[in-house]
Amino acid sequence: MANETASSSSNRLHLSLLENAYDSFNESVSRADLADSDSRHWKHAVLHLVHSLELFLKQRLVDEHRLFLFENVDRPTKTVSLELALKRLVALDVALDADAVRAIESAIKWRNAITHYEVDLHTAEVRANYLLLFDFIDLFHQQHFGDEGITEHVHLENREIAARMLRSSKREMLQFDGTTMHRSWPAKLLAAQKTETVSVSGVEFNRIRWGQESIWPSMRADGYVPGERCRDCAAQIGKLHGPGCCVEECPRCGGQFTYCDCEFDDSVLWDLLNENAQGLSDETPSDGA
Ligand SMILES: [Zn+2]
Ligand SMILES: [Zn+2]
């Protein structure tokens, strides 16, 4: 994994935070290119991309102060997690708008999904989120590390691939009520409203709407209220979540609907996810537009 960009010798590898970030970014781009023909590569494409994001955020913290890199500034041994880096950057008032926070939160979600669960992800979903994050990293890089697009730091052989991804991202993402999302999403969200119940062995359960999750009574008591829209799927308050939303609560076990172990009967909700995945893969670009 040591590339020519890194100063390395036969028995030593030294990568600065930024070099390390570029290295992971490059690895991710190569994997994403392979994933077009073999979807198994998405796992490492995502993990490397999230790793590069983590390192870029850490570098940004170091630019504020070297000690911010560490979980405990009084005992600088363990460096911050991605979650803490995000929190700290927000606290430091480093310009991160709602879209940026959403992109980073969704990166955390995808990384956790891949790391902690059986890997059962729809290629189209992964690809859409990959593009969203890719685009965000490019923007973050330009804003915080001197105006250059990230593609300037991509190895020559990967540069065309990276440029193609950026073009896909620009073409496939849209603004929906102030939030950047894949253009297939609003239709999915709308379609998901039609499936109000899911069943296990014929026993029906009403799906839980955004804002009606079981945590809210105690959260409200502590002064918190649900936002106007779900942070993951952008469902409006009182509406059903979009397919695959990580916030949706399982009406049967109370766990995370997308990842719980309940064995639900067939439903158009799952079909919807599959159909959309199919539709999306069909438009997987190999374009030069
Ligand atoms: Zn949601
Ligand atoms: Zn469940």
Asked if residue 198 and residue 86 are part of one domain, the reply reads no
At a CB cut-off of 8 Å and minimum separation 6, what does 150 contact? 25, 137, 138, 141, 142, 162
86 or 277: whose pLDDT is higher?
86
Asked if residue 208 and residue 159 are part of one domain, the reply reads no
- Per DSSP, helices labelled H in 147-238 are 156-172, 185-192, 216-221
List C-alpha distances in Å: 147 to 34, 51, 52, 283. Answer: 29, 21, 18, 31
Residue for token digits 């998405």? 42
Domain end point (choices 121, 147, 176): 176
Mean confidence (pLDDT) of the chain: 82
Percent of the chain clearing pLDDT 70 (strictly above): 85
Residue for token digits 């100063």? 7
Per-residue model confidence as pLDDT tens digits over 199-230 = 999 999 999 999 999 999 998 898 888 888 88
C-alpha dihedral sign at 177, 137, 258, 128: positive
Does residue 6 contact residue 23 with C-beta atoms inside 8 Å? yes
C-alpha dihedral sign at 260, 82, 115, 150: positive
Q: Which of 6-10, 27-31, 36-40, 130-134 has the highest mean pLDDT?
A: 27-31
Q: How many domains does the chain have?
A: 2
Asked if residue 41 and residue 127 are part of one domain, the reply reads yes
How close is the Cα of 281 to the center of ligand 1, in Å? 23
For residue 79, tell me if it sits in a domain: yes
- As residues whose CB is below 5 A from the ion ligand 2, the structure lists 250, 252-253, 255, 260, 262
**Hey, which bits of the chain come out as E strands?**
7-9, 12-14, 173-176, 179-182, 197-200, 203-206
Strands 173-176 and 179-182 come out as: antiparallel
Residue 197: both structure tokens together: 């119940």
63-82 residues labelled b (16+ CB within 10 A) or e (exposed): eeeeebbbeeeeeeeebbeb
Asked if residue 250 and residue 127 are part of one domain, the reply reads no
Average pLDDT score over residue span 41-58: 92
Which structural domain, as residue segments, surrounds residue 22?
A: 7-176
How close is the Cα of 254 to the center of ligand 1, in Å? 15
Give the pLDDT confidence score for residue 12 in this predicted structure.
65
Q: How confident is the model at residue 244 (pLDDT cuts 50, 70, 90)?
A: confident
For residue 242, tell me if it sits in a domain: yes
How close is the Cα of 244 to the center of ligand 2, in Å? 13
Residue 7: both structure tokens together: 């100063």
Q: How far, in Å, CA of 190 to CA of 192, rounded? A: 5
Name the 3-class secondary structure at 179. strand
Asked if residue 65 and residue 42 are part of one domain, the reply reads yes
How close is the Cα of 213 to the center of ligand 2, in Å? 13
Asked if residue 195 and residue 171 are part of one domain, the reply reads no
258 or 64: whose pLDDT is higher?
64
C-alpha dihedral sign at 23, 28, 33, 35: positive
Which ligand is the nearest neighbour of the Cα of 179? 1
How close is the Cα of 123 to the center of ligand 2, in Å? 23
Does residue 230 contact residue 201 with C-beta atoms inside 8 Å? no
C-alpha of 166 from chain center? 16
Which ligand is the nearest neighbour of the Cα of 262? 2
Which ligand is the nearest neighbour of the Cα of 198? 2
Q: Which of 91-95, 129-133, 239-243 has the highest mean pLDDT?
A: 239-243
Domain end point (choices 176, 196, 231): 176
Asked if residue 216 and residue 172 are part of one domain, the reply reads no
At a CB cut-off of 8 Å and minimum separation 6, what does 239 contact? 193, 209, 210
Domain end point (choices 120, 149, 176): 176
Give the pLDDT confidence score for residue 178 in this predicted structure.
66
Give the pLDDT confidence score for residue 2 in this predicted structure.
40
Give the pLDDT confidence score for residue 119 in this predicted structure.
60
Give the pLDDT confidence score for residue 39 in this predicted structure.
82
Asked if residue 74 and residue 46 are part of one domain, the reply reads yes
Average pLDDT score over residue span 236-260: 90
For residue 21, tell me if it sits in a domain: yes
Asked if residue 155 and residue 35 are part of one domain, the reply reads yes
Give the pLDDT confidence score for residue 117 in this predicted structure.
61
